[in-house]
Amino acid sequence: MNVLISGGAGFIGSHVVRRFVRAYPQYRIINLDALTYAGNLENLRDIEDAPNYTFVRGDICDFDLLCRLMAQYAIDAVIHLAAESHVDRSIKDPFTFARTNVMGTLSLLEAARRYWNGRWQGKLFYHISTDEVYGSLALDAAAAAPPFGPELFCEKTPYAPHSPYSASKASADHFVRAYHDTYGMPTLVTNCSNNYGPYQFPEKLIPLCINNIRLGKPLPIYGKGENVRDWLHVEDHAGAIDAIFHRGLPGETYNIGADNEWKNRDIVHLLIRTTDRLLGRPCGASIPLITYVEDRAGHDLRYAIDSSKLQREIGWAPAYTFETGIEMTVRWYLENQPWLDAVTSGAYMSYYDDMYGKH
Ligand code: NAD
Ligand code: TYD
């Protein structure tokens, strides 16, 4: 099987590529990535020479390139992760999000449809999405219970995106389902909660805080820090994607999460405790770095995922506890400070432009 994985040089994509390259030597994995600020081939150093792995630098909005790649590599399946992924950036620059997340997804769908040309047997278009498309839940579970609204996001929860990021992902999800319903394309959509773990770009809450604690820089908490996110280790997400890729039913949607809700300010305190301890600093030394800042516009209050369909129908369950996952994650960032320094300085980007041409 020839599998095209888009966005494989990013945070989640690199874990998915690594897992598939190692676990399925019989598959050929083609990683298509534009290497934006969020894409970094350092994330894949350990598998870049594997015989079943090929990297292509390219943009998912480049329809001619996509059509060429589908034919050149005789692609059987697409796992689509390439996206602009940061809510704060989407507030500043919504056009880029519509371009990549909506038009890029549509281009990839259409290139696959034209190449597969109705011969759907053995083909799959698997789209990776987010729980943010469902909008926001009430803080208090009792207040959120029916008839006031769902207590958790399930696959039937109506879409209600609030940020330009989640609106663009919602649009992409609808296009994927439309290709299933209109053309019969075998598709899968999964909506996952917030991920954490190695190789996450330090603009997102967890790596940002670890990086700033090590450097003694401010830890910005938006608003009162009461917003809740449901955290999943990225390797558990990659494991779920593997299971769903092989056992999911075409046309279906599965939610992925680990029943692990945390208020932002509690996460920041947990990261301070863990990072200070691992750096040999006195307990609580970094608490004065906490800085409450203006809230994010349209900030969703709470995300929480019901992943019982996935557990029941696919038999998946997360392997990491949050305790171990966070400890290992903080250790990883502290042991990989050159990676953090390179991505925060942007040094790796001009290197790629020299190697692959400016994008
Ligand atoms: P990321 O920002 O770390 O990586 C995105 C990757 O896509 C980068 O390698 C980037 O170079 C590439 N890319 C961006 N624009 C491109 C384009 N036009 N053409 C080709 N490649 C392009 O993102 P991530 O956090 O790894 O998220 C991956 C996917 O998972 C996204 O679709 C995101 O919406 C989804 N998701 C993320 C989370 C999370 O917590 N991070 C949770 C649920 C779902
Ligand atoms: P983030 O990691 O950006 O993920 P998302 O917006 O997709 O959930 O943010 C996680 C939560 O942390 C979110 O509620 C916003 C908040 N946050 C802060 O309080 N301070 C920060 O500096 C960042 C980046 C996020």
Question: Residues, the chain, total?
Answer: 359
For residue 346, the model assigns a pLDDT of 82
Residue type, 306: D
Triad 255, 271, 10: Cα angle to 5°: 50
Look at ligand 1, atom 14, and give the residue with the nearest C-alpha: 83
- Rg over CA atoms, the chain: 20
For residue 189, the model assigns a pLDDT of 99
SS3 299: coil
What angle in degrees, to the nearest 10, is found between the helix axes of 264-278 and 322-335?
50
Could you give the residue ranges of the DSSP H alpha helices within the chain?
11-23, 63-72, 87-92, 94-97, 105-116, 141-144, 164-183, 205-215, 234-247, 264-278, 308-313, 322-335, 337-345, 347-356
3-state secondary structure 11-27: HHHHHHHHHHHHHCCCC
Quick check: 280 and 196 in contact, CB under 8 A? no
33 CA to middle of ligand 1, Å? 10
Write the DSSP symbol of residue 155: T
| Category of 346 on φ-ψ map: left (φ > 0), alpha (ψ -120 to 50) or beta | left
Point out the residues of the chain with pLDDT beneath 50.
Answer: none
Q: Which pair of tokens denotes residue 55? A: 């990297």
In short, whether 208's Cβ falls inside 6 Å of ligand 2 is yes
Ligand number nearest to the C-alpha of 89: 2
Residue 171: closest CA among 255, 113, 84: 84
Tens of pLDDT, residue by residue over 53-69, are 999 999 999 999 999 99
For residue 221, the model assigns a pLDDT of 98
Write out the H or E segment, with its range, that includes residue 294. Answer: none
205 CA to middle of ligand 2, Å? 5
For residue 143, the model assigns a pLDDT of 64
Q: Domain range for residue 268?
A: 2-356
Residues forming beta bridges with residue 233, ordered by sequence position? 196
Domain CATH code at residue 31: 3.40.50.720
How distant is the alpha carbon of residue 267 from its chain centre? Answer: 19
134, 165, 320, 333: the active-site residue: 165
Q: Which pair of tokens denotes residue 57? A: 């630098």
In short, whether 204's Cβ falls inside 6 Å of ligand 2 is yes
SS3 37: coil
Cα–Cα distance measured from residue 243 to residue 241, given in angstroms and rounded to the nearest whole number: 5
DSSP character string of 180-228: HHHH---EEEEEE-EEESTT--TTSHHHHHHHHHHHT--EEEETTS--E
Residues forming beta bridges with residue 229, ordered by sequence position? 262
Cα–Cα distance measured from residue 10 to residue 81, given in angstroms and rounded to the nearest whole number: 9
41 CA to middle of ligand 1, Å? 14
Query: What is the number of domains present in the chain?
Result: 1
Quick check: 219 and 268 in contact, CB under 8 A? yes
Residues with CB under 6 A from ligand 1: 6-7, 9-13, 33-36, 38-39, 59-61, 81-85, 100, 104, 128-130, 169, 192, 194-195, 201
For residue 347, the model assigns a pLDDT of 80
For residue 351, the model assigns a pLDDT of 65
